[in-house]
Each structure stands twice: as structure tokens, then as C-alpha cells.
Structure 1
Amino acid sequence: MRCKICSLPEDQWGESSLDEHILDKHRDEHAAIKAVYGDRYERLFEDGDPAVSTEDDAGGDDEQEGVDDTDGGDVNPPSGSSPAFDTGSYGKKWFMIGVGGAGNNIVDALLMRRDTLRQNDEERALIWEGGLAGYGILNTNIAELEQTYYAQQEREYSREELLMNSIIGQGSHGYQGMGRRWDLGRKVMESDFEDGRNPFRERWDMNPQQIRDAQALMFVHSVTKGTGCGATPVLARRVREEVLNDDFVISKALLSSVVIPSEGTNGSHAGGKARVNGVVGLARISEAVDAIIPFDNERLDAAGTDIRPRIDGLEEYNPPHYADLNRPLVAFLEAFTMSSTPQFVKQDASMNIHGDVFDVADSFRPVEDKYPLDLDGDTRPAVILAPVLGRARGDQMDLSQLETLASNALYQNRLAKFDPESAWGGTFLLYGPEEKMERVSEHVASGAFRELLASEDFLDASYQPGTESVDIHVEQLVTPALDDVYLWGTLWNPRMPSLEDMYDHAKDIKEGNSQQAANLRDVWDQVEPLFSCLGRENMA
């Protein structure tokens, strides 16, 4: 057994019981004791001072320290965490985990979007209430954690509570970040699981039962710095091993929403380290998740104001430039969340989302059997899902307006650089108010809209260099409280200039004589499967 505050093993305490260790070593750390040993705090302290007796109550509860996480997690969840057995989480779409500075900022933006909708009594708040089974943030940098909305408003954590609930690598570094070293990010995350430790059970404020209840997990992070790039792949693998039920015939879907270096910006040509990190981060996360949604800041910056949702107060918690970048990213994830929310909206609520139920697996499963046979289950990479989101303000919603909407989504508002004509296919969702969706539905039912997407102007589905077809799936939803029609989509494994640039740069670096080159050579067998599958010519 280890102390959950200092991680010191029992044989190094110097005291005979956990109670005595807490009173001797941590008596002034009231917030931390309350966070992880709430029952003991009530017993050991009176009005903030140690009680006279330090003996365990009859029967004690030390045996609870080793409780297996399959029973729903820690017996005493950290303060601020959701209840251990939240039956309301079952079947909701996401458990979201933001890793590193970028991931923390994006989760903040999602939570503030939810709260903006709530505070303005907008019915769309139900999208998030029906879509989030749970969420949490992790980081190696305590200062970044302290600045988050999650810490200050959502959980109201002190620094001591953050060290227990959200820090990566407790006791293994100085809590100041990884300095763009992905190998260090990997090491500190691995340290949390050494010697049989399980931070999901022992200290992090993420409820294992809620993770199991969700349809899927979404990791949100960047691949340009050390924590998001290095720690997230370890975390994803450990979630499968330590939390999820591996008895299922089909495992739970794990997805990664990842910010990648943009072409021609700081962090690309002018910053080769970010490009190398990008290659390594994408390759390693590809081994641990089912699908990757890449966003690049250049395209997020270029996104139109029509897909930048209202998020009150975001500039207070997101760094100045990133507040604007994160708005279209949040809009994309909100639509993805909404796409299978209908069954979780309260029956007596005024909002009635209805239409095709589009589950997480529908975004990537249809393409999994199109990979070449020489890529078996162990080497087949995650599916790249290139994100698009467009908006049409017209009233007629005839085929001409839908063509304009498709152009807006696939060209003006694509949220990463890619070539639609090189994609293996894609999944699309049209949604909007009932009166407009009635007209849209006619074009979907007749197949006219699918044919439009398949035309030479967009996906050019007639170009099939292999034997597999280019599949295009179109779903639709009626969404009250919207005025316009939107087109959301993910395109499978297209050619992406920024990824090709990263790959070419890393390939040159790995031939060198530096430690960075040696690190690249160590993981290159993970790199090739992912990058060799981009582009339609690589489909079977």
C-alpha cells in the first residue's frame, strides 16, 4: 500500500499505520487529506486540529485501499469528482480527457460552451448533458493546471488537490512541464503505473465506471510538445489495460482529437522539433486508439465566423490567440456529440433532436476493412478522420444551396489541410431546423446529395485506383433551436500536406547522429504504417 498524498510505500512510512503517517507527515495538508482520505479526515481531525486518538476505528478500513477498480473506482472519490456510481452516465457519448496545455484549454472551452448554453437557457445545453459521461484533465505543469477553468470553476481545486487529481508523474519530476521532450512525457506517465500503482483508482478524479459507461473515450491533446505527444499514447494504452473490459468481442472505441503543426508556421518549417514530435506523437497514438481527428491551427484560424460558437469568458482561461482557434474546434465536437444524443434527451424536454442515430463507431468502422491484408490487426493504424463543418443560411435548401454548403464545408471550413479527392470516403451529417430539413431530406432520400458529394467537384468517387469502392455515408438530424442547416463530416485517410511535410522532415532527421535521431529510429516501425496509408492510392 502507498500513501495517496506522497506516494511513499508503507514500508518507508516509519509509522505503524496510515493514520499515524497522515498525522505525522501531512497534518498541515488539510485540502489534500480531504481530497483523498475524506473519511479519515473526519475521524482524525476536529476543528482543523488532530484528534486525541490516532488509532484506526474498530475493524479499520485499510483493506479498502486495495479495492479493485472494477467495482466503480475509489471508495472515497476525490472532492469535486462525480459520484462513483453515476447511473446517468451509461451510454452517453464521450468520456473526455484533455492532456497537456492544449488539451486542457480545449476541455475548458467545451465546458465553458456547455455553461454558456446553460446560463442563457438554450436548449442545446442538453447536447452536452446527454453527451458527456464524464471528463477530466491531466498535465505535467502545475502552473498550467492552476490557470484552467476546470480547476478554478468546475472543481474549485487548490494546488494540493490538483497535485492529487490532475498531475502526471506524481513525485517523479518538478511539475514544470516536459520542455517539448516527448520521451520525457512518456516516462513520467509510465511512472504513475509503476509498482502496481493505478492512478485511475488511487488519485485521479476520473471515475473508471463512467469511463466504462461511455460509448467512447476522446483524448484531446497536441503533438507538438512533450506532455500531449509523449504521455497521451501511454495513457490510452493504460485505459484499455487498467479500466476497460477486455472481454467484449468489439472493444470500446478510443479516439484522439489532436492539434498538429501547420504548414509554414512557427512549429513547422521554422520549428523542426514540433514536426518531429508530430510524427512521433501521431504514430504512437495511432497504435493505441481507433481513430485520429487532426486539427491544424492555420485552418482553425481561417474558419468562418459562421462556425464560431458563443463561449462566454473564454479569453479569461484560454491564451489570447487560442480562444479564437478553439471555437470552431468546439463547434465540430458539439455536432459530433449531438449525433447520437437523441435517446438521452429527457422525454419531457422541449428539445427533440430526431433523425438518424449516428454512433461513434459509424465514423471509422466502415473503412477498417478497406486496408490491405498485409496490415493485420496488430499493425493496422488508426483511421485518420479529416474534419469539416459548413453552414448554409438560405431558406430554399434546393440542390444548388446544398452544393454551396458542401463547398463551404469541404473547402472554406475544412479544419485541417487535406485533399478531398484523395480520401477513401467519408461520413457526413446534415442537421438543422425541421422546416428546412424537410426540404433537405428529399435530396438525401433520393441520393442526389450523396451523388453531389461523389462528383468530381468534391470527393471524385469514380476515381478508384484499387478494387475497393469509395463509400460516402450521409445521415440527417432535425435539431430545434437552430436557424440554419449545417454539414458536418469526417473524410477517411486523405492526403494531408502538413503530415507529409512532417514525415519527410522526420525521415531526414532519423538518419542523423543525434539523440533525437536515435529516438526516431526506435519508433520508426510505428511511423510507417500510419503514413503509408494516407491517400486513396493506398486503399486496397
Structure 2
Amino acid sequence: MTSICKICMKRANEWNRETLLEHVRAAHGDEPASVEQVYPELQEEVFAEPESEAGTGPKSSSNASDRNGPAGGHLREGNGLGDGEIGTRGSTAVPSDDLMDSSYGKKWYLIGVGGAGNNILDAILLRRDTLAENNERRARIWNGGLAGYGPLNTNISELEQTYYAQEEKEYSRHDLLSNCIIGQGKHDYAGAGYRWDIGEQLVEADFADGGDPFRERWDLKPQAIQDSQAVMFVHSVTKGTGCGSTPVLAEKLREEVVEEDFVVPKPLFSSIVIPSEGTEYSEFGGRAKVNGVVGLARASRSVDAIIPFDNNRLENVQADIRPRINRLEEYNPPQYREINRPLVAFLEAFTMSSVPQFLDRDATMSIMGDVFDPADSFRPVQDKYQRDPDSEFTPAVILAPVLGRSRASSFDESKLEILVRNALFQNKLAEFDPTTAWGGTFLVYGPEDKMAAVSEYVSDGTLSSIIADEEFLDAGTVSGIESVDIHVKQLVTPYLDDVFLWGTLWNPEMPSLDEMYEHARTLKQEGNTQQAENVRETWEHVEALFSCLGRENMG
């Protein structure tokens, strides 16, 4: 007998049924899409009508509703985050809105740094265009969510290959040198060559002698940056530009562009692709490990929150959080096409959470839904750090990303448990241990008819209790006096058919980061090279960040 159900990941002794078929029929009979995807060989038997009921009206009608979607609409296969093909609801016309033309109050100013960051920015723009070309109302997520965007790089060839350069702006090489290059006139524009220190020096050269590339030449608009709710850098920490240039860019942006007299400063985020544990690149690539440690540590001093994405996890997540992005193969290298899809899905959900032009406000208010701002993802944990009067800075909060999806047609406590399991284990976008997190922020969202039921479990604390269970965050296990806080918010999002659970877990232990840390520490202690000396110079930042990971370091 099969020992585990691949839909809910429950073992046979938890089924309360004798066979896998009986379990799937009882527990997942209202999830035809999940059964079809995971157990196509069982689909016919799972949904077969008992002979005594075959042809009866109510049973037949129920099955038709389950398989075809609400009101008998045909349910077509899709492949991504609430894609329109999956029983799209409502009108597809995109209404005009004066707010769409203004950057004020929009969620992100998005800056893609280095080759990886440029590719991610391209993927987001292509996703935006895919939704718009299909006349989907969800195009408003990005139209209403982006206050502005732009790529920066030290490698002119990588910039020339981007969708941003070729189609968004139709830039020549000369245009790119003026608008997107880091270190103009200071190098041959061939990249930083895996050297984070060179990436750092090149961006510092742009600001030397009173230079201000934000206002003088880059495609980054200071007014739009000021108007946005937050700034999001997207980059990797394996090569020189994303690793070395981004922390300086964040510091300069805070000093030169963002209003300094605010009581609460504008949030700065870094979405960072980190080397994966156990891959050939991380196993033999000592340079990548060192860059990973240094890049994360230096970024942690410059931004408020870091969202780490692990390539292994991005490759292995389920197909149902890989959104459709037309023409991605034209602009993303083969090794990045599939891993960028779930990353875009996560950022799309994050963006949607406070885009008023998209929200179904009346429905949201009717179930006490609320919108949360970018800072709500990290500010609740900032005062849980140990107080150290001698410390120069408090490192950024690590936000481990998850995104779960349920196709269930109805919801009870067991279905919510499956959704939480899907998010925290099957569809986590970085490798981490949820039982070591300081807590987390979660957003459950979906169509109004399904959220009406889910809302009851949010309001009475059931969903929070499930997340807090010892199998998931194990919130009851705390050594100090601080508590493991779990913030759950809810949102009605029209034009979706499924319910999603988006979340960020605060400062958990992450195996890939531990491996990088140990390698860098050995180099610091035993190395006699310039690379080792560079690590020593930044070690204070490294220790500040890594000493905060894991629940035992809370408070």
C-alpha cells in the first residue's frame, strides 16, 4: 500500500481509510484539479458515481459543478498563479483609472541589479504584459503596483539582451551606457567578474566628486521613488555586481533620494537569489559561498528586509504556482526561465496585497478583510532583537518566502491544514526550518465565495492555530520570554478561482546559509589572500546577521 498521499502529504496511518483510493475520494473528492495533476491514474475511480446513484440529478449536478467550475463554466487547464485559464471569473475588460497614471502610493519602485536582477525584472514586465495582452483584470496588480522600475548592471552585453532594453525602451548601446550602466567611464563594461569588491568600487565611482546618477542619468526617477510605498532591489549574491553594488546603491538611495526627516523611513527590501545547498555550484564554488555570505551581510546593513530565494526550491515547487509568462524564453537564459516563474508569483501576491485599484473593496470589507503595507511584513519583529547599545546597526529581517495554493471547492479545518502544509513544505521558496522561525506574516486570499468560509477560520483564530501547531511553526516551543507571533490577514481578490496562502517567516535557520557561513569563517581564519582579507573587513556585518538566525537568538 502507498504510504503517503502526495496531495496532502499525510501518511497512511493518518488517513482513516484502508486504501489510497478511498483516502483520495474522501479527503480530496472536491479537488478534481489536484487529483488530475497528482493521481491521473485514479481520477476516473475517484470521481466515479456509485451504481445506486448513477444518473441521479443531484449527484450529477454536483459533479458537473466541481469539474466545470461555478455556474457550469468550463474549467480549462492553466499553469500558474490564479491564471485566467483556470475558471476565470468576471469581466476581462481593464477599466481606465486615473490613479494608474500616477506613481503616488503605488507599492514598489523596482530596481534589478546585475544579470540575475535584470532577468527577474524582465520576467515581471513580461508577466505584466501577458496579463494585459489577455485583457485580464489582474493586469492591474502590476499597473497599480509599480511606481517605477529600472535595471542597472556593469555588463553592457547583459543589458543589451534584456526585454527592458530591446522592447520596453528600444535602447541603443549608447542609451544603455547613459541610463543603465554602473561605473560609467571607469571600466570596459564587461562586468565585475565575480568580484563583489569591484562591484562596490564601480558604483562608488558613480557618486565620487558629488556625482548623482539617480538624477543625472540612470532610469531611476527620484520623485517616483519618493512616491512609492517601498523600494525593492532584486539581485543575486553569487556574482560581483548584484553582490557588491546593491548595498551601496541602497545606502546612496537612502541618503540622496529618500526623505530623511520622516519619523518612519521608507522601507527598503532586497529580494536575493542565494546559492543552493548541495548543488555543484555551491559544492565546488567557494567564490559563490563567500559572495553569498558577504552579499547578504552587507545588504543587511543597507535594507530593512531580505527575501532569500533558493534556486533548488524554485526548481522544485509545484506547477500550480508557476504563472504563465509569454515570451520568457526569448529574454531569460534557459537555466532561469522556470525558476523565475514562482519568484514572480510570490512578488505578484505581495504586490497585490496593497494595490487599491485591484481590490474588491466591498467584498473585502464584508468579511473584515484588510490590506497590509510592505512594512507590515517585517516591522512586527524589529523590536524583538536583543538590545545592544554598542551595536552600530540592527541587521535586516530575513523573510523566508512561501506560497501555497488550494483548489478545494469548500473549506474546513482539514483543508486549511493541507493549504498550510502545501505552503510551508511543498511550496516554500527557500530551504529553511519553520520551527526555528521567530514568527511570521501570512496573507490568505481568494474569491469571495470561498473566502466567506475561510474568513470564519481566520476570525476565530483557527488558521493561526494551525500555523502555530508543532508540525509547522511549533509556536509553543520558546526558550525565552518572547513569544512567537503569527500575523494572519485575509483578502478577497476577484477574478481568481483558488485560495492562496502567501507568507514570510522571520529569521529561521537556513541550511544553505549555514554552509556558506562555515566556508567564509574558515577562509577568514585561515586564508592568506586578498579575498580572505575582504571577508575579514566585513566580518562584523556577517556576525551581526547570522547571530540573529534561529529562534534561540530571539530577544
TM-score class, shorter: 0.7 to 0.9
Task: Describe how 1:264-279 pairs up with structure 2 within 5 A.
Answer: 264-279=278-293
The aligned residue for residue 520 of structure 1 is 535
Residues 418 and 494 of structure 1 are in contact (CA less than 8 Å); yes or no, is this contact kept in structure 2?
yes
Task: Describe how 1:429-508 pairs up with structure 2 within 5 A.
Answer: 429-508=443-522
1:225 aligned onto 2:225:
no
1:196-237 CA distance string (max 9 Å, x none): 010011101111000000000000000000000000000000
**Which residue of 84, 101, 105 corresponds with 1:91?**
105
**Which residue of 247, 250, 254 corresponds with 2:268?**
254
Q: Percent identity?
A: 67
1:388 aligned onto 2:391:
no
**Which residue of 182, 185, 202 corresponds with 2:216?**
202
State the superposition RMSD in angstroms.
Answer: 1.6
The aligned residue for residue 409 of structure 1 is 423
Distance in 2, matches of 1:421 and 1:519, equals 34
The aligned residue for residue 188 of structure 2 is 174
1:356 aligned onto 2:358:
no
The one-letter amino acid of 2:500's match is: Y
The aligned residue for residue 139 of structure 1 is 153
1:535 aligned onto 2:533:
no
C-alpha deviation, 1:411, in angstroms:
0.3
Q: Secondary structure at the match of 2:283?
A: coil
The aligned residue for residue 10 of structure 2 is none
1:351-380 CA distance string (max 9 Å, x none): 987631111110000000000012677321
**Which residue of 216, 219, 224 corresponds with 2:230?**
216
Q: 1:125 to 1:350 in 2, by over 3 A?
A: farther
The one-letter amino acid of 1:509's match is: L
Distance in 1, matches of 2:332 and 2:485, equals 38
Residues 109 and 232 of structure 2 are in contact (CA less than 8 Å); yes or no, is this contact kept in structure 1?
yes
1:464-505 CA distance string (max 9 Å, x none): 111100000000111111110000000000000000000000
Distance in 2, matches of 1:205 and 1:161, equals 10
Distance in 2, matches of 1:522 and 1:276, equals 13
The aligned residue for residue 61 of structure 2 is none
Distance in 1, matches of 2:476 and 2:149, equals 42
Task: Describe how 1:280-291 pairs up with structure 2 within 5 A.
Answer: 280-291=294-305
C-alpha deviation, 1:86, in angstroms:
9.8
Residues 89 and 134 of structure 1 are in contact (CA less than 8 Å); yes or no, is this contact kept in structure 2?
yes
Q: Secondary structure at the match of 1:217?
A: strand
TM-score (norm 2): 0.80
Residues 370 and 468 of structure 1 are in contact (CA less than 8 Å); yes or no, is this contact kept in structure 2?
yes
| Higher mean C-alpha displacement, 85-94 vs 198-207 | 85-94
The aligned residue for residue 137 of structure 2 is 123
Q: Secondary structure at the match of 1:172?
A: coil
1:312 aligned onto 2:344:
no
1:368-416 CA distance string (max 9 Å, x none): 0000012677321000000000100111111111100000000000000
C-alpha deviation, 1:345, in angstroms:
4.0
Q: Secondary structure at the match of 1:269?
A: helix
Residues 264 and 270 of structure 1 are in contact (CA less than 8 Å); yes or no, is this contact kept in structure 2?
no
Distance in 2, matches of 1:323 and 1:302, equals 13
The aligned residue for residue 61 of structure 1 is none
The one-letter amino acid of 1:197's match is: G
The aligned residue for residue 335 of structure 1 is 349
Residues 267 and 275 of structure 1 are in contact (CA less than 8 Å); yes or no, is this contact kept in structure 2?
no
The one-letter amino acid of 1:386's match is: A
1:242 aligned onto 2:236:
no
Q: 1:377 to 1:437 in 2, by over 3 A?
A: farther
Distance in 1, matches of 2:244 and 2:220, equals 20
Residues 364 and 370 of structure 2 are in contact (CA less than 8 Å); yes or no, is this contact kept in structure 1?
no
C-alpha deviation, 1:255, in angstroms:
0.3
Distance in 1, matches of 2:377 and 2:167, equals 33
The aligned residue for residue 190 of structure 1 is 204
Distance in 1, matches of 2:463 and 2:362, equals 27
Residues 218 and 256 of structure 1 are in contact (CA less than 8 Å); yes or no, is this contact kept in structure 2?
yes
Q: 1:191 to 1:529 in 2, by over 3 A?
A: same
The aligned residue for residue 411 of structure 2 is 397
1:76-135 CA distance string (max 9 Å, x none): xxxxxxxxx997111110000000000000000000000000000011001111110000
Q: 1:353 to 1:441 in 2, by over 3 A?
A: closer
Distance in 1, matches of 2:402 and 2:465, equals 18
1:159 aligned onto 2:173:
yes
Residues 225 and 274 of structure 1 are in contact (CA less than 8 Å); yes or no, is this contact kept in structure 2?
yes
Residues 351 and 480 of structure 1 are in contact (CA less than 8 Å); yes or no, is this contact kept in structure 2?
no
Q: Secondary structure at the match of 2:417?
A: helix
Residues 423 and 535 of structure 1 are in contact (CA less than 8 Å); yes or no, is this contact kept in structure 2?
yes
Distance in 2, matches of 1:443 and 1:298, equals 33
Residues 296 and 417 of structure 1 are in contact (CA less than 8 Å); yes or no, is this contact kept in structure 2?
yes
Q: Secondary structure at the match of 2:201?
A: helix
**Which residue of 288, 301, 308 corresponds with 1:294?**
308
Q: Secondary structure at the match of 1:502?
A: helix
The aligned residue for residue 28 of structure 1 is none
Q: 1:261 to 1:375 in 2, by over 3 A?
A: farther
The one-letter amino acid of 1:434's match is: E
1:373 aligned onto 2:387:
yes
Unaligned runs of 5+ in 2: 1-98
The one-letter amino acid of 1:522's match is: E
Distance in 1, matches of 2:512 and 2:131, equals 35
Distance in 1, matches of 2:303 and 2:278, equals 28
Unaligned runs of 5+ in 1: 1-84
